[in-house]
Amino acid sequence: MTRRPDLVRGATIVGTGMYVPDRVLTNADLERMVDTSDEWIRERTGIRERHIAAPGQASSDLALIAARRALAMAGLGPEDVDQIVVATTTPDRVLPSCACTVQAKLGAKNAAAFDVLAACTGFIYALGIARGAISTGIAETVLVVGVEALSRIVDYTDRNTCVLFGDGAGAAVVRPCAAGEGILAVTLHSDGVLGDLLEVPAGGSLQPTSRETVEQRSHFIKMRGRELFKVAVRGMEESLRAALDIAGLAPADLDLIIPHQANQRIIDATRERLGVPAEKVILNIDRFGNTSSASIPISLDEVVRAGRLGPGDNVGFVAFGGGATWGATVSRWTMPAPLTDGVAQAVTAARGAGS
Ligand code: UT7
């Protein structure tokens, strides 16, 4: 479908879904693997447990379940999707993209599919792409997925990182809406100079996988956590404030903030700088750990299914991650609450798809 370029329309989330693998890795399990303690992990991060993909369960498998749930909520089928954007740091393979694999498994034969690598900010980048595609008429229905099987690149002999990360997937279906509703503002930032604060040194074109890289464990995540911590708090505050400015809102106008779940202390510090009460900020890091690009859509799906968002509510997403990348979105929620599968489809139809 082609659209007149002067006809700007909005984009809004009409369905959400999430999935985490069955296997749970607790702090007690980690105490038996590395020199750590449940007390240290809880006090320094807020994490109690995380989910780990089964052998043979790839990122696309996690994404597929989340995507099907999001489409069911939206009352749409795979063939309605015309773009799939998968944010991931852990695609099934280097080539093809995880998004193309999800497309094949889903049977979304009408979709263009590609991956976005923006680490923990990936879902926000992907949502920004979806909004742009819909506003310009490139797409009508975009499936945005954040998925990670981080357990595949975590070194379970490194206590600095192995206690932090978990696996999971979250998805959102984005459709047109009236201008001034839905996703009101998106702010995206990067600073590649900070690239080595969080990296997987080997397995790419710089250091292709070799016997040496495997022996040196260079195909696993390396992180300079303390340095990341400081820039994360500043970046999250600034990007959410910038998105609020674009939307013409103040922090107090937000009904809910869904932050990336990297560390409870990062979330608390960001919240305090913004002057927002704790009850408006979603925290589930205790159950999932840091699932990178999946953490925001997982949290969003929990919030939506719990009926915590209703039409007209202002919700902010904010994240910081490797790259370094950071960013935020501010949306005016359009879906009714509590939500059942198919309700969003009725809402979309009633709006005349915003066109
Ligand atoms: O997802 C987006 C990107 N990621 C982030 O934004 C993560 C940001 N960073 C963090 O969340 C925190 O820096 C960490 C949770 C990674 C670490 O917490 P910290 O309070 O910054 O600890 P630290 O790295 O300063 O280490 C303090 C001590 C060290 O011991 P010494 O040198 O003081 O004797 C570490 O060796 O804690 C030690 N330590 C541990 N002790 C028990 C580090 N990891 C562990 C552990 N168990 N798992």
- For 141-151, the pLDDT digits (tens) are 999 999 999 99
Task: Quick: pLDDT tens for 299-325.
Answer: 999 999 999 999 999 999 999 999 999
**What spacing in Å lies between the alpha carbon of 29 and ligand 1's midpoint?**
18
Q: Looking at residue 169, what is its pLDDT?
A: 98
Q: Is residue 189 part of a domain?
A: yes
Atom 17 (ligand 1): residue with closest C-alpha?
225
Cα–Cα distance measured from residue 165 to residue 173, given in angstroms and rounded to the nearest whole number: 26
Do residue 56 and residue 203 come from a single domain?
A: no
Ligand 1 neighbours (beta carbon < 6 A): 36, 40-41, 44-45, 120, 159-160, 163, 198, 225-226, 228-229, 232, 262-263, 266, 290, 320-321
**What spacing in Å lies between the alpha carbon of 226 and ligand 1's midpoint?**
6
Do residue 112 and residue 37 come from a single domain?
A: yes
Atom 16 (ligand 1): residue with closest C-alpha?
225
Do residue 169 and residue 211 come from a single domain?
A: no
Question: pLDDT class for 104, splitting at 50, 70, 90?
Answer: very high
Of 120, 227, 229, which is best to mutate to test ligand 1, by the most ligand atoms within 8 angstroms of its C-beta? 229
Kindly tell me if the per-residue pLDDT of 352 is higher than 80: no
Kindly tell me if the per-residue pLDDT of 214 is higher than 60: yes
Structure tokens at 122: 């990936």
Prediction pTM value: 0.94
**What spacing in Å lies between the alpha carbon of 37 and ligand 1's midpoint?**
12
Q: Looking at residue 336, what is its pLDDT?
A: 82
Q: Looking at residue 4, what is its pLDDT?
A: 46
Q: Which amino acid, one-letter code, is at 41?
A: I
CA geometry: angle at 99 spanning 217 and 192, to 5°?
A: 55
Q: Looking at residue 5, what is its pLDDT?
A: 44
Catalytic residue among 27, 263, 290, 314: 290
Q: Is residue 29 part of a domain?
A: yes
Nearest to 240 by CA among 299, 333, 318: 318
**What spacing in Å lies between the alpha carbon of 163 and ligand 1's midpoint?**
10
Do residue 122 and residue 204 come from a single domain?
A: no
Q: Which atom of ligand 1 is nearest to the CA of 30?
A: 48
100 is catalytic: no
Q: Is residue 353 part of a domain?
A: no
Neighbouring C-beta atoms of residue 201, cutoff 10 Å: 16
Q: Among the three residues 179, 194, 216, which one is the final residue of a domain in this structure?
A: 179
Do residue 151 and residue 283 come from a single domain?
A: no
Q: Among the three residues 154, 179, 204, which one is the final residue of a domain in this structure?
A: 179
**What spacing in Å lies between the alpha carbon of 166 and ligand 1's midpoint?**
17
The number of domains in the chain is 2
Alpha carbon dihedral 160, 161, 162, 166, in 10-degree steps, equals 150
Of 27, 38, 263, 264, which is best to mutate to test ligand 1, by the most ligand atoms within 8 angstroms of its C-beta? 263
Do residue 23 and residue 126 come from a single domain?
A: yes
Rg (CA), the chain: 19
Nearest to 320 by CA among 221, 222, 237: 237
Kindly tell me if the per-residue pLDDT of 346 is higher than 70: no
CA geometry: angle at 180 spanning 179 and 181, to 5°?
A: 95
Q: Among the three residues 135, 156, 179, which one is the final residue of a domain in this structure?
A: 179
Atom 41 (ligand 1): residue with closest C-alpha?
36
Note down the domain range covering 174: 5-179
Atom 25 (ligand 1): residue with closest C-alpha?
226
3 state SS of 73:
helix
Atom 8 (ligand 1): residue with closest C-alpha?
229
Q: Is residue 348 part of a domain?
A: no
**What spacing in Å lies between the alpha carbon of 233 and ligand 1's midpoint?**
15
**What spacing in Å lies between the alpha carbon of 66 and ligand 1's midpoint?**
31
Q: Looking at residue 341, what is its pLDDT?
A: 56
Q: How many alpha carbons lie under 13 Å from residue 218 in its C-beta half-sphere?
A: 16
Share of the chain above pLDDT 90, in %: 92
Do residue 154 and residue 204 come from a single domain?
A: no
Do residue 131 and residue 153 come from a single domain?
A: yes
Do residue 80 and residue 102 come from a single domain?
A: yes
Do residue 169 and residue 205 come from a single domain?
A: no
Cα–Cα distance measured from residue 243 to residue 188, given in angstroms and rounded to the nearest whole number: 9
Torsion region of 232: left, alpha or beta (phi above 0 gives left; psi -120 to 50 gives alpha): alpha
Of 221, 226, 285, 298, which is best to mutate to test ligand 1, by the most ligand atoms within 8 angstroms of its C-beta? 226
**What spacing in Å lies between the alpha carbon of 42 and ligand 1's midpoint?**
12
Query: Residue-wise over 216-231: b if at least 16 C-beta within 10 A, else e?
Result: eebbbbbbebeebbee
263 is catalytic: no
Task: Quick: pLDDT tens for 55-72.
Answer: 999 999 999 999 999 999
Do residue 164 and residue 302 come from a single domain?
A: no
Catalytic residue among 98, 177, 219, 260: 260
Catalytic residue among 100, 120, 162, 177: 120
Do residue 128 and residue 198 come from a single domain?
A: no
Kindly tell me if the per-residue pLDDT of 120 is higher than 80: yes
Task: Quick: pLDDT tens for 237-295.
Answer: 999 999 999 999 999 999 999 999 999 999 999 999 999 999 999 999 999 999 999 99
Atom 38 (ligand 1): residue with closest C-alpha?
160
- For residue 301, the surrounding DSSP H or E stretch is helix 295-305
CATH assignment of the domain containing 307: 3.40.47.10
290 is catalytic: yes
